């Protein structure tokens, strides 16, 4: 099995065992504005199952394939598809076989983080548009490789930062453009949760329903342990990216967007595993400062195992400006003057469910609609 670096590099310049056309246009179907879009979903246990439902419920969309390395997950998602769209998708555990279909238009990726960039690049090579859950890569270089591949093949790539499509973020953008808080210069982002210990995993036999070899895919090989699949991989460096890319991605994305900044000139970060002694390889407590050359900065604070909220919120982004402040998250928008007095509030009555993110102001539906409109109509 090749190293991860070699695997992803080959994904950009080669075919990784797939017979693919040299250009996306020669392989993919040409879609009109009213054409049905055929969708395949990779990784459908939790977040992927919710995303599959979102696309099933979208106008003129058909889920034609479910790809998961767990046969029980395939059965569950296929049954959901039959209930919603009246037909069962093809079930397949190997993403390479899914991408061989000439009728597939869009691949939705919700597999573990270490698969995001390789699967995205493979799909683009095969002439498929891509909706990939955040983060787009397992490391910063993989994000750059996705951009290179998107430019090469000219297809749509949407990352699942759903707050971008929400009314609260749109309101914040408008108020900033209108100068309501003056010049924005600092963003404070945070996340708190009461995550339980994952313990110390024991090496056990791989369950019969799971293809652990395919699950590891481009990652270095490890023995199967009983505290990895399906969710705890987030906390292991071979497969996950820790809390800062699991939940921080959402808040930090909004911060960068509202401050109009791109790459930081300096990053300082500290933290550790302070709360519980277990197999976590990332900090359960972390503070990070991103500094930008145009006198702007972003701070990120994560406390994964202590549920104490900040400003009464489990997660959020606070933008500070020369004339006021604003706060935005998945369930609300709040505007404050310089002294901290609240002068405007928009709220959602939907309870936050981070494993779903479907019902919260239809964030995922709006985001998926943007993807579909980009494919059909060239929407940004």
* pLDDT the model gives residue 331: 87
What's the pLDDT at 1?
Answer: 46
Q: How far is CA 340 from the centre of its chain?
A: 32
**Residue 88: CATH number of its domain:** 3.40.50.720
For residues 114 and 175, membership in a common domain is answered with no
- Residue 193 and residue 151 share a domain: no
Quick check: 342 and 335 in contact, CB under 8 A? yes
Tell me the per-residue pLDDT of 245-264, one tens digit each, with 9 for 90 and over.
999 999 999 999 999 999 99
Q: Is residue 265 in a domain?
A: yes
109 shares a domain with 186: no
| Phi-psi sector, 179: left (phi>0), alpha (psi -120 to 50), beta | left
Percentage of residues of the chain with pLDDT beyond 90: 84
pLDDT at 6: 60
Model confidence over 151-197: pLDDT tens digits? 999 999 999 999 999 899 999 999 999 999 999 999 999 999 999 99
Q: How many helices (H) and strands (E) does the chain have?
A: 12, 14
Same-domain check for residues 142 and 35? yes
Q: pLDDT per residue over 52-95, tens digit each?
A: 999 999 999 999 999 999 999 999 999 999 999 999 999 999 99
pLDDT at site 357: 44
Same domain membership, residue 240 and residue 124: no
Predicted confidence (pLDDT) at residue 18 exceeds the cutoff of 50: no
**Mean pLDDT confidence for 285-297:** 95
Asked if residue 211 belongs to a domain, the reply is no
Mean pLDDT of the chain: 90
Residue 372, domain member (yes or no): yes
Say what the pLDDT of residue 11 is.
52
**What is the token pair recorded at 254?**
């909004």
Provide the domain count of the chain: 2
Q: Examine residue 223 and state whether it is found in any structural domain, yes or no.
A: no
Whether 171 and 275 share a structural domain: yes
Tell me the residue length of the chain. 380
The answer to whether position 292 is within a domain reads yes
pLDDT of residue 148: 98
In this predicted structure, what is the pLDDT of residue 263? 92
Q: 302 preceded by cis ω (within 30°)?
A: no
Task: Give residue 260's domain range.
Answer: 167-198+228-360
Does the structure show a pLDDT above 90 at 2? no
Do both 138 and 90 map to the same domain? yes
pLDDT tens, 298-316? 999 999 999 999 999 999 9
pLDDT tens across 330-363, in order? 889 999 999 999 999 999 865 444 444 444 558 8
Whole-structure pTM value? 0.90
Q: How confident is the model at residue 352, as a pLDDT?
A: 44
Interatomic CA distance for residues 247 and 357, integer angstroms: 12
pLDDT of residue 348: 80
Q: Is residue 208 part of a domain?
A: no
pLDDT one-digit tens code per residue, 93-119: 999 999 999 999 999 999 999 999 999
Q: Residue 40 — pLDDT band, cuts 50, 70, 90?
A: very high
Residue 191 shares a structural domain with residue 327:
yes
Task: Judge whether 206 lies within some domain.
Answer: no
Q: In angstroms, rounded to a whole number, what is the distance separating the alpha carbons of residues 98 and 349?
A: 39
Same domain flag for 73 and 131? yes
Q: Do residue 350 and residue 371 come from a single domain?
A: no
Task: Work out the average pLDDT over 263-282.
Answer: 96
125 & 193 share domain: no
Work out the pLDDT band at 21, boundaries 50, 70, 90: very low
* Res 363: pLDDT: 87
pLDDT value of position 269: 97
**Domain for residue 19, yes or no?**
yes
Mean pLDDT of 22-34: 51
Asked whether residue 321 falls in the same domain as residue 173, the answer is yes
Instruction: Report the CATH number that the domain containing residue 244 is assigned in CATH.
Output: 3.30.360.10
Alpha carbons 273 and 305: distance in angstroms, whole number: 10
CB count in 10 Å sphere of residue 368: 26
Structure-token pair, residue 279: 């197999």
């Amino acid at each position: 099995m090749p190293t991860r670096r070699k695997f992803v590099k080959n994904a950009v310049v080669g075919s990784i065992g797939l017979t693919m056309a040299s250009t996306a246009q020669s392989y993919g179907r040409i879609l009109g504005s009213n054409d049905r879009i055929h969708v395949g979903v990779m990784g459908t246990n939790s977040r992927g199952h919710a995303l599959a439902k979102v696309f099933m419920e979208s106008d003129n969309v058909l889920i034609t394939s479910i790809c998961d390395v767990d046969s029980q997950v395939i059965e569950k998602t296929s049954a959901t598809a039959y209930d919603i769209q009246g037909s069962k998708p093809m079930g397949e555990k190997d993403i390479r076989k899914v991408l061989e279909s000439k009728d597939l238009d869009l691949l939705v990726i919700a597999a573990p983080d270490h698969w995001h960039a390789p699967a995205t690049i493979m799909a683009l090579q095969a002439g498929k548009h891509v909706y990939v859950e955040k983060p787009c890569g397992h490391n910063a270089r993989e994000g750059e490789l996705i951009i290179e591949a998107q430019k090469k093949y000219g297809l749509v790539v949407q990352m699942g930062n759903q707050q971008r499509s929400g009314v609260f973020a749109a309101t914040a953008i408008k108020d900033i453009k209108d100068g309501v808080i003056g010049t924005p210069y600092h963003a404070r982002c945070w996340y708190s949760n009461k995550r339980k210990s994952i313990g110390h995993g024991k090496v056990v036999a791989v369950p019969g329903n799971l293809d652990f070899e395919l699950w590891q895919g481009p990652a270095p090989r490890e023995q199967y342990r009983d505290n990895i699949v399906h969710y705890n991989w987030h906390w292991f460096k071979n497969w996950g990216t820790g809390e800062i890319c699991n939940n921080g991605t959402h808040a930090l994305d909004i911060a960068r967007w509202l401050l109009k900044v791109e790459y930081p000139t300096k990053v300082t970060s500290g933290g550790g595993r302070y709360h519980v002694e277990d197999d976590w390889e990332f900090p359960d407590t972390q503070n990070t400062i991103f500094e930008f050359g145009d006198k702007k900065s972003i701070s990120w604070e994560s406390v994964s195992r202590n549920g104490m909220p900040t400003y009464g919120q489990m997660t959020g982004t606070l933008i500070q400006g020369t004339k006021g402040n604003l706060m935005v998250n998945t369930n609300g928008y709040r505007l404050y003057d310089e002294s901290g007095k609240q002068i405007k509030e928009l709220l959602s009555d939907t309870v936050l469910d981070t494993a779903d993110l479907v019902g919260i102001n239809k964030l995922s539906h709006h985001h998926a609609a943007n993807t579909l409109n980009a494919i059909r109509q060239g929407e940004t």
